Amino acid sequence: MCGIMGYIGKKDGYPIVIEGLKKLEYRGYDSAGVAIMNGSLSLYKKQGKVRELENYIHTQKTNGNIALGHTRWATHGEPNDTNAHPHLSETGRIALVHNGIIENYATLKSFLTSKGYTFKSDTDSEVLVQYIAWYQSTYSLDLNEAVRRALGDVEGTYAIVVLDTLKPNGVIVAKKDNPLVFGLNEGEFYIASDASPISNFTQEVIYLKDGTYAELFDNGTYEVYDLEKKSIDPELTTIQSSKDNYSLDGYDSYMLKEIHEQAQTLEANMEQRIDLEEGEIRIPEIDEHKRIFNSANKIILLGCGTSWHAALIGKYIIESLCDIPVEVDYASEFRYRNPIIRENDIVIPISQSGETADTLAALKLANEKGAFTYSLVNTVGSTIARNSDIVSYLKVGVEIGVASTKAFTAQVNLLTMMALKIARIKGTIELSKYKEIINCLDALPGLVEKTLECNKLVKIIAENYYKRDHALFLGRGLNFPVALEGALKLKEISYIHAEGYPAAEMKHGPIALIDEQMPVFVIATNRSIIQKLISNVQEIKSRKGEVIVLKEEGQEFPNDLASYAIEIPKTHELLSPVLASIPLQLFSYHAAKLRGCNVDQPRNLAKSVTVE
């Protein structure tokens, strides 16, 4: 969702901010804008992509040592030039970029309207900048004090950067429940929604804490405060210089590149975690808390969207190996009830971005209730990672395509390694089985490469079905979440309506949907219940449904039941979801391309969902 990038120092800020905004594009957005300070303020805003903003600014004056940039994902008010950020106060004195939602904006707006203020946009963010301006002019305050007092009245969430054009030697940054980080270099600051656009300039950063704000000056000095204006000592964090590769490497989209990267990303995910010589899984953060894992009563896995699907697969694997009951919850549901957390319960939030607002709020609730929290996250140093007792990283590098692919397979893989590790600690797995699965994990990247060879066939299948309005995905056991994930991928990037179901549930209602127009993907890699699954497919075939089956190489499956059969290499049954997901990712990619959709930035979606 919204991305913030800012620069204050001695250099020209505009090129830094534009490049930063491009690195934040993955978060998802529908308009972009920049404000540049050079004696006076220049403001440029455009609906559409950063590239379009750049073209628009092309012939304009862009020099200035303070620049604020923003990519907006619309919440209040449609995506257009006027609603794009930065927003100005009515007199044009104060400029602001904002990520988050001002929940009491309507109250503040009617208050300001009663004082004679008028508004150009439909956004809650413009209300905030006007409210700061009202404090400033009514009580003759400097920007620091006006922002502090305004934030004291605000309900909701925010990460903001604010600039006073009459005192153009500094900016105010503030944060509550939305990410904001600033990097310190000699005489300059880089401000952003995450560290990715900063790490090539400086490795020393401050992740602003909730309910705090900072004043950054163009001579390199700064001060951090709480909302009582008590000075606080911020924690300096050293980040790694980014090794992330933002190029397409010849692919037509990041999604396709990321699908094809999965052999390497799984290798990275397992690096230093699989010790083949000793036949052991090494996860030091679990080892350091062996007692907690050994005496765990219950594990609660939390996530949203694709990460929730990974959690469902995780439940299956953990319960089958560790003899610990596992609950899986949507983070957005967990946080709005009274989840029962008892001593010795472990809460595991799963998140690619590490910034998903609902997952973060659920994690905070689990922390408050005294749970031991262990997050599985991709983005290093993200808010979820920093708020957990321990964290294991996916290590797959930046995922740019909005549809999660390589992060999903790494989440499932990490959950498998985690389950093996816990099972070993608890003694709930036989050594021979433990070693067998470790060997299968080691072979998995090679099998991913082999699975990718199905691309040609999957494209043919997509050519056959991309004009259909609906699709069904069926699986049983640990392939039920694979079916859910296949359906989610298809709907989010191709806009074909799709549903995932446990195959045996069809006869309890959904089978009424089956006719000759309904393609039905059946994930049939479960050896243990294959006969039952075949019976479920018979029922669909008898009603003229068109079946596309995903099965293991050499696995028997009646030829007359399926219009197409996609074969995936044989592996341990617990690892098969990783391989089975790949043809489904490819199918949604091809279907979306054939329908002319933007696979990397599907409509209405954001990569990092930082509003609730």
Residues with active-site annotation: 2, 607
| Binding positions for ligand F6R, 452-491, rule CB under 6 A | 488
From the list 16, 127, 403, 584, which residue makes contact with ligand F6R (rule: CB under 6 A)?
Answer: 403
The angle formed by the CA atoms of residues 257, 605 and 521, to the nearest 5 degrees, is 65
168 contact partners, CB below 8 Å, separation of at least 6: 37, 39, 66
Would you count residue 314 as binding ligand F6R (CB under 6 A)? no
d(CA 396, CA 271): 11
Q: Which stretch binds ligand F6R (CB under 6 A): 191-199, 345-353, 510-518, 536-544?
A: 345-353
**Taking CB under 6 A as the rule, does residue 353 contact ligand F6R?**
yes
Task: Tell me the C-alpha distance between 356 and 295, whole Å.
Answer: 29
* Neighbouring C-beta atoms of residue 542, cutoff 10 Å: 10
Question: Which stretch in 170-178, 280-288, 305-313, 570-578 sits in contact with ligand F6R by CB under 6 A?
Answer: 305-313
Q: Are the C-beta atoms of 573 and 528 separated by less than 8 Å?
A: yes
- Contact between 359 and ligand F6R by CB under 6 A: the answer reads yes
Alpha-carbon distance of 397 to 254, in angstroms, equals 13
Instruction: Single out the residue of 269, 351, 392, 585 in contact with ligand F6R (rule: CB under 6 A).
Output: 351
- Token output for 80: 């257009």
Nearer of residues 307 and 576 to ligand F6R, judged by Cβ: 307
For residue 147, the minimal CB distance to ligand F6R (Å) is: 29
Within 261-345, where are the H helices? Answer: 262-270, 284-287, 290-294, 305-322, 331-334
Q: Applying CB under 6 A, which of residues 352, 375, 413, 585 lies at the interface with ligand F6R?
A: 352
| Separation of alpha carbons 193 and 381, rounded Å | 12
112/385 with CB nearer ligand F6R? 385
Task: Tell me which residue has tokens 């000592």.
Answer: 233
According to CB under 6 A, which one of 83, 242, 265, 307 is a site residue for ligand F6R? 307
Q: Which of 136, 144, 332, 356 binds ligand F6R (CB under 6 A)?
A: 356
Q: Which is nearer to ligand F6R, 356 or 455 (CB)?
A: 356
> Could you say which residues in the range 99-138 bind ligand F6R, by CB under 6 A?
none
User: Cis bond leading into 86, ω under 30°?
Assistant: yes
* Kind and range of the H or E run holding 504: none
Q: How far is Cα 340 from Cα 343, in angstroms, rounded to an integer?
A: 10
- Under the binding rule (CB under 6 A), the answer on residue 388 touching ligand F6R is no
Q: What are phi and psi of 190, to 5 degrees?
A: -120, 125
Q: How far is the CB of 42 from ligand F6R (least distance, A)?
A: 34
Specify the DSSP class assigned to residue 417: H
Q: Considering the complex, what minimum distance in angstroms separates the CB of residue 525 from ligand F6R?
A: 22
Minimum distance from residue 105 beta carbon to ligand F6R (Å): 25
Any contact of residue 71 with ligand F6R (CB under 6 A)?
no
Return the number of the residue (65 or 581) whose C-beta is nearest ligand F6R.
581
610 contributes a contact to ligand F6R by CB under 6 A: no
* Residues contacting ligand F6R: total by CB under 6 A: 14
* Chain position carrying tokens 């600014």: 57
CA distance 379 to 194: 9
Helix (H) or strand (E) holding 121: none
Rank residues 83 and 332 by Cβ distance to ligand F6R and give the closer one.
Answer: 332
Contacts of 95 (CB under 8 A, 6+ apart): 35, 41, 43, 68, 86, 87, 88, 89, 129, 162, 163, 165
Give the residue at shortest CB distance from ligand F6R: 305
> Least Å distance between CB 72 and ligand F6R?
18
Instruction: Tell me if 506 contacts ligand F6R by CB under 6 A.
Output: no
User: CB 307 → ligand F6R: shortest distance, Å?
Assistant: 4
Q: Is 78 exposed, middle or buried (0-12, 13-18, 19+ CB in 10 A)?
A: exposed
* CB nearer ligand F6R, residue 352 or residue 581: 352
Q: Please report which residue ranges of 103-212 form alpha helices under DSSP H.
A: 105-114, 124-139, 143-153
C-alpha 565/C-alpha 562 separation (Å) is 6
**178 is a site residue for ligand F6R (CB under 6 A):** no
From candidates 30, 54, 492, 552, binder to ligand F6R by CB under 6 A: 492
**In this structure, what are the phi and psi dihedrals at residue 56, rounded to the nearest 5 degrees?**
-65, -40
Residue range at the interface with ligand F6R (CB under 6 A); choices 162-170, 228-236, 303-311, 447-455:
303-311
Output the smallest distance, CB 21 to ligand F6R, in A: 20
Using DSSP's 3-state secondary structure scheme, residue 159 falls into: strand
By the rule CB under 6 A, 609 interacts with ligand F6R: yes
Least Cβ distance, residue 361 to ligand F6R (angstroms)? 12
Q: Is the separation of the CB atoms in 572 and 438 below 8 Å?
A: no
Contact residues for ligand F6R (CB under 6 A)? Answer: 304-307, 351-353, 356, 359, 403-404, 488, 492, 609
